[in-house]
Structures are given as C-alpha cells and as structure tokens.
C-alpha cells in the first residue's frame, strides 16, 4: 500500500506535493497523539534549551544570515 501511495505522490506536481504535505501535517496536528520517538526528541531539545538558553540565535541574527546585511 505504501509503495502504491509513493507512486501516486511521484505523479503529482511539486505544488501538489507541497499541498499534500500541508494537508497531512494539518491532519496530524488535529490528533492528540505523537510517536514516542518524536516526544523523546522534543524533550531532548527542550532540556538542551533550558540548560543553555543563551546558546541559540535570535530571530534577527537568523534573518540576517538568510537575507544578508
């Protein structure tokens, strides 16, 4: 079944594939469930942030790296 879905996805245009990603993401957000591996990864990232909150970049710094000075 998954292989058949993959083949159907390959037949879609890039725009349609992005739309499909958006639709699937929206559906997943409506559910109150999360795979254990995903919860563990979120917990790991939250713990890292809480232990070193100043280590990350501000939005201004990130935006400047993306768009230039």
Q: What is the pLDDT of residues 15-61, one digit of tens each?
A: 999 999 999 999 988 888 889 999 999 999 999 999 998 888 889 99
13: left (phi over 0), alpha (psi -120 to 50) or beta: beta
How far apart are the C-alpha atoms of 7 and 10, rounded to whole Å? 5
Is pTM beyond 0.85 here? Answer: no
Task: Give per-residue burial for 20-56: e unless 16+ CB within 10 Å, then b.
Answer: eeeeeeeeeeeeeeeeeeeeeeeeeeeeeeeeeeeee
């Amino acid at each position: 079944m998954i292989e058949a879905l993959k083949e159907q996805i390959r037949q879609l245009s890039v725009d349609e594939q992005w739309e499909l990603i958006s639709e699937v993401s929206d559906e997943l957000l409506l559910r109150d469930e999360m795979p254990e591996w995903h919860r563990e990864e979120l917990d790991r990232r939250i713990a890292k942030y809480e232990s070193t909150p100043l280590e990350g970049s501000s939005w201004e710094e990130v935006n400047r790296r993306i768009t230039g000075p």
